[in-house]
């Protein structure tokens, strides 16, 4: 940890930090030992051999239409039969211009020039897409004036759905000269044959078959609805998975010498329930149901204690001696996010540098060997694979903090260029939220007909960010004509203002049979500040699909 490289380092502080830290790196002092992992040159079964992959790339993007789907042998994400299936239509002769790679290289965005890229024998002008790139403009600009193939070899989420190729097709301006594409294919073959598979360390065999997998490379998986509230603490193998990069393995023992604490906290992806927005208009990102939320008991070292260990007394010390307002977390995979110094140093903020999950070492999917837990904040601030912690005058850079990824745009904004992202705050605390995981009829009858009322028992969960306790969950079975307060169960006795975990609820209530022979139940949570969920996602729609906390709705057939 250090104060960054902005020229404000305090010499005495720097000496203390340097003496206590484990690793030095380019003007910054890290808190985590570097990786000593040996990467074996083994390939995942879902990766084609190099020659076939090159052949497939040329085939796939030389066509007028492409459909990409993932076959995983059911929902079992670790299936040995996992493969990527690519279907293509017959190629059609194009009358588009043919460019050389030298011509493409000139258009690299410098000096006001457009940004061109190639893939699969096609040339694309992505200039107007740069600001909207989900991974951030810095990432996509790495391929400016060249081929995206080497980058998509790592960021394989581009093959999880057909959306990337549909977007690319709109930006296609021509074709790459055949002999230049052949050179790209040869380079890709060499890359795949001489370098370790970036996904070779993915713990496929450790992942639970009940996870709903949205993509294996990169792994994104949510908890099955029927298991979401099975236990108050989510089992690590059922904890939802959100990855931004392939996993790496490092070792760390030093922090375990500092006093250990345990914090029970819920992590929720900012895009949880994004699928509900897509009913109105498609958003950008994984179409989560309600399962991108889980809870665990995390063990580790208070960030506050760690800072004191290196000589920083409190947030005022940092602010007065260096105007340091932010704590940045750097991950081995390049991810970076930050929180305010007040949250980091607050004795009641409970931020920890974590190495245990439910009493066992962190699994690789959840940040092994070290991650940060920032209770009450969006999960993206809970950085995994932490290798460096930095005090800074400014918040973290990159797409996860300053870019489009985790900023809630107004409903009328369809393009990042239409707003000033610097004026939109990064997501920190999350809104009040609830979900329904079970509805069981109590007096189901074959003679029940539309308009009849039957009794049902509903149960689920509720959560609010910022440590705000859930004080009530209201439930309705008649379209909000009447409401009944649910009984709060597990989690209802958390400390006031430090309710970092979800609360379970259950309610027996009347429900009206609808025309299709089903009953529909809605829930809305109310937190300590008496914030309540809005009735519809329609008016909160945003292009990134963040913070859908509208009433939760669930239907079951009763006839």
pLDDT recorded at residue 350? 98
**160-164, 180-184, 409-413, 526-530 — which one is most confidently predicted on average?**
526-530
Bridge partners for 66 per DSSP: 88
- The overall longest dimension of the chain from CA atoms, in Å, is 81
**C-alpha span between 119 and 172 (Å, rounded):** 10
Q: For residue 385, what pLDDT is reported?
A: 93
Cα 535 off chain centre by: 25
pLDDT over threshold 50, residue 135: yes
CA distance 57 to 52: 9
Residue 540 lies in a domain: yes
Q: Which of 159, 194, 229 is the last residue of a domain?
A: 194
Kindly list the distances between the CA atom of residue 393 and the CA atoms of 21, 262, 515, in Å, as whole numbers in the listed order.
Answer: 20, 30, 60
**260 and 175: one domain?**
no
3-state secondary structure 160-186: CCCHHHHHHHHCEEEEECHHHHHHHHH
Same-domain status, 362 and 293: yes
Q: Judge if 349 and 229 occupy the same domain.
A: yes
Residue 372: strand, helix, or coil: strand
In a shared domain, residues 156 and 217: no
Residues 228 and 377 in one domain: yes
Residues 376 and 487 in one domain: no
1 domain-assigned = no
Q: Are 466 and 342 in contact (CB under 8 A)?
A: no
Does residue 203 lie within any of the structural domains? no
Nearest residue to 370 via CA among 296, 299, 268 = 299
Strand 487-488 to 212-216 pairing: unpaired
Per-residue pLDDT at 512 exceeds 50: yes
4 within some domain: no
Pair 330, 536: CB distance under 8 Å: no
pLDDT for res 320: 64
How many Cβ atoms are within 10 Å of 124's Cβ, its own excluded? Answer: 22
Question: Residue 377's pLDDT is what?
Answer: 98
- For CA atoms 134, 240, 361, 497, the dihedral sign is positive
Residue with tokens 């990855």: 243
pLDDT tens-digit profile of 43-86?
A: 222 333 333 334 434 333 333 332 223 233 333 333 333 322 32
479 and 344 inside one domain: no
Query: In the predicted model, is pLDDT for residue 463 greater than 50?
Result: yes
Closest CA to 249 of 9, 1, 35, 463: 35
Q: Dihedral of the CA atoms 165, 130, 243, 303 (nearest 10)? A: -170
Angle between helices 50-61 and 178-194 (to 10 degrees): 150
Residue 447 lies in a domain: yes
Residue with tokens 């096609």: 122
Domain membership of residue 201 (yes or no) is no
| Nearest 10 degrees: Cα torsion 457, 463, 469, 472 | -30
Phi, psi at residue 118, to the nearest 5°? -125, 155
Please, what is the average pLDDT of the chain?
A: 80
C-beta separation of 410 from 548 below 8 A: no
Which pLDDT score, from 0 to 100, does residue 195 have? 76
Instruction: Tell me the C-alpha distance between 212 and 485, whole Å.
Output: 31
CATH number at residue 121: 3.10.120.10
> How confident is residue 117, by pLDDT bands cut at 50, 70 and 90?
very high
Burial status of residue 490 (CB atoms within 10 A of its CB: 0-12, 13-18, 19 or more) = middle
Q: Are residues 141 and 166 in the same domain?
A: yes
Position 3 scores a pLDDT of: 38
| Contact (CB, 8 A) for 389 and 337 | no
Say how far apart CA 6 and CA 391 lie, in whole Å.
10
CATH of the domain at 239: 3.90.420.10
**Which residue shows structure tokens 């460019």?**
99
Q: Which of 4-13, 334-343, 453-462 has the lowest mean pLDDT?
A: 4-13
Q: Which domain holds residue 539?
A: 433-557
Question: What is the number of domains present in the chain?
Answer: 3
- If asked whether residues 183 and 237 sit together in one domain, one would say no
Q: What average pLDDT does the segment 94-115 reach?
A: 91
* CB-CB contact of 339 with 396 (8 Å): no
Among residues 388, 423, 458, the one where a domain terminates is: 423
Q: Are residues 371 and 303 in the same domain?
A: yes
| Residue indicated by tokens 């995983």 | 72
- The CB-side HSE value for 492 (13 A sphere, CA atoms) comes to 14
Residue 321: per-residue pLDDT: 58
User: In terms of domains, do 345 and 398 share one?
Assistant: yes
Averaged pLDDT for residues 468-472:
98
Residue 204 falls within a domain, yes or no?
no
Burial class (CB in 10 A: 0-12, 13-18, 19+), 46: buried
User: Which of 213-222, 296-305, 507-516, 530-539 has the weakest average pLDDT?
Assistant: 213-222
127-145 average pLDDT score: 84
Q: Please list the active-site residues.
A: 133, 158, 242, 269, 406
Q: State whether 482 and 514 are in the same domain.
A: yes
420 pLDDT exceeds 70?
Answer: yes
Least confident window among 3-12, 271-280, 356-365: 3-12
Specify the 3-state DSSP secondary structure of 482: coil
> Is residue 43, in this structure, part of any structural domain at all?
no
Segment (H or E) for 107: none
Does residue 446 carry a pLDDT above 90? no
pTM score, whole prediction: 0.65
Domain boundary among the residues 390, 423, 456 is at 423
Cα–Cα distance measured from residue 168 to residue 358, given in angstroms and rounded to the nearest whole number: 43
Query: Tokens 């705000």 map to which residue?
Result: 468
From residue 525, give the alpha-carbon distance in Å to each of 129, 530, 535: 38, 9, 11
């Amino acid at each position: 940890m250090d104060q960054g490289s902005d020229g404000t380092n305090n010499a005495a502080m720097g000496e203390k930090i340097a003496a206590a830290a484990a690793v030095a790196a380019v003007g910054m002092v890290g808190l985590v030992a570097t990786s000593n992992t040996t990467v074996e040159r083994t390939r995942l079964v879902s990766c084609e051999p190099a020659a076939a992959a090159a052949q497939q790339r040329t085939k796939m993007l030389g066509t007028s239409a492409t459909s990409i789907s993932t076959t995983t042998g059911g929902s079992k994400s670790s299936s040995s039969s996992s493969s990527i299936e690519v279907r293509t239509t017959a190629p059609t002769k194009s009358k588009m211009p043919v460019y050389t790679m030298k011509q493409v290289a000139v258009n690299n965005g410098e000096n006001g020039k457009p940004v061109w890229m190639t893939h699969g024998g096609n040339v694309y002008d992505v200039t107007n897409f740069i600001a909207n790139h989900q991974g951030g403009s810095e990432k996509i600009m790495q391929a400016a004036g060249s081929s995206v193939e080497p980058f998509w070899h790592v960021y394989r989420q581009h093959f999880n759905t057909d959306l990337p190729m549909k977007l690319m097709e709109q930006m296609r301006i021509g074709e790459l000269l055949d002999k230049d594409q052949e050179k790209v294919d040869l380079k890709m073959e060499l890359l795949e044959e001489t370098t370790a598979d970036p996904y070779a360390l993915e713990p496929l065999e450790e992942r639970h078959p009940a996870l709903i997998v949205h993509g294996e490379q990169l792994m994104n998986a949510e908890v099955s609805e029927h298991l979401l509230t099975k236990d108050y603490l989510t089992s690590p193998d059922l904890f939802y998975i959100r990855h931004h990069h392939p996993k790496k393995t490092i070792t760390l023992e030093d922090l375990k010498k500092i006093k250990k604490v345990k914090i029970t906290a819920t992590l929720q992806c900012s895009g949880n329930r994004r699928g509900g927005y897509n009913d109105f208009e498609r958003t950008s990102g994984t179409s989560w149901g309600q399962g991108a939320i889980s809870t665990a008991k995390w063990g580790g070292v208070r960030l506050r204690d760690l800072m004191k260990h290196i000589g920083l007394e409190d947030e005022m010390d940092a602010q007065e001696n260096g105007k340091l307002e932010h704590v940045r977390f750097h991950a081995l995979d390049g991810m970076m996010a930050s929180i305010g110094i007040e949250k980091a140093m607050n004795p009641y903020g409970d931020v920890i540098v974590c190495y245990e999950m439910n009493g066992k070492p962190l699994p690789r999917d959840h940040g092994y060997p070290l991650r940060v837990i920032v209770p009450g904040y969006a999960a993206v601030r809970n950085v995994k694979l932490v290798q460096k912690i930095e005090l800074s005058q400014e918040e973290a850079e990159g797409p996860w903090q300053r870019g489009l990824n985790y900023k809630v745009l107004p409903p009328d904004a369809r393009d990042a260029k239409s707003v000033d992202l610097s004026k939109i705050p990064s997501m920190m605390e999350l809104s009040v939220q609830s979900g329904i995981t079970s509805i069981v009829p109590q007096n189901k009858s074959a003679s029940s007909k539309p308009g009849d009322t039957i009794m049902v028992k509903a149960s689920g969960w509720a959560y609010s960010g910022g440590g705000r306790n859930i004080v009530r969950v209201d439930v309705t079975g008649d379209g909000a004509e009447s409401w009944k307060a649910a009984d709060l169960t597990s989690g209802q006795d958390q400390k006031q203002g430090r309710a970092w975990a979800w609360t379970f609820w259950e309610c027996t209530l009347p429900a009206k049979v609808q025309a299709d022979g089903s009953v529909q139940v809605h829930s809305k949570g109310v937190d300590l500040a008496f914030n309540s969920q809005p009735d519809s996602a329609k008016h909160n729609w945003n292009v990134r699909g963040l913070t859908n906390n509208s009433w939760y709705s669930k239907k079951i057939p009763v006839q």
